[in-house]
Amino acid sequence: MNCTLSFVENTIIDGVATLKRSIDVSQTAACVRIRYLEHVLLVLNLNFTLRRLIEVTLTSPLGTKSIILRSGRRLDRGRTIQNLSLLSLHHWGENPNGEWDLQIRNTVPNASQNGFLFNFALQLFGTHNDPMKDNTHVKPSTLNPTMDDKSTTRTSPSTDILIISVTVPAIVLLVIIAIVVFVKKKGLSTRPLTLTNANTQHELTVSPITK
């Protein structure tokens, strides 16, 4: 499902100040039915001294900010932006109800530059029911993860300790074997070699192998 909110402006875009508009979608019945966003479409009609300097930002009711039009295109010296459709997936899964903030600004402030915002339209596309709820390809633990669910973001501390405790004895054993082989090949000593584990204080005596 989708809903569209259209606005006729004919408002001056200042070369220094940011043009701001608030859009309350909760006043439109069709928009209220959407509880999970899929994507947002913004359609603009405006002109400006150098349209390549214009930046457009869209912020959702939940505070997610999307720079839906970035400035650039150095060789572009045109003025008009006509029926430009800008699509964003940045707000996927959010509840769109509430106030959206639209900001249009000149990224290189200059009082001699100006333009007009003629009109714009905001279109919301989404569903009433959670699209992930019955998705068999997604594990339940990955649905709507929260900041408090540490298992979705990092390895458990107990798992880290277990890995370390298993790895250290294996390394010690390899070192002992390497020493025994070295002593046997070089014939450096005929006396037993005693090794002490600093953690457990256990001693291990290795006797040279004689032919």
Beta-bridged to residue 56, according to DSSP, are 69, 104
pTM of the model: 0.62
Q: State the pairing for strand pair 114-127/203-206.
A: unpaired
Domain spans in the chain, listed from the N-terminal domain onward: 2-152, 157-206
Q: Which of 26, 27, 22, 29 is nearest to 7 (CA)?
A: 22
Domain at 2-152, CATH from 2.130.10.10, 2.60.120.260, 3.40.50.300, 3.30.300.20? 2.60.120.260
* Pairwise CA distance, residues 1 & 128, whole Å: 8
Q: Would you state the pLDDT for residue 2?
A: 93
Positive or negative torsion for Cα 52, 57, 58, 64: positive
pLDDT in tens, 165-174: 556 667 777 8
pLDDT in tens, 100-135: 999 999 999 999 999 999 999 999 999 999 888 877
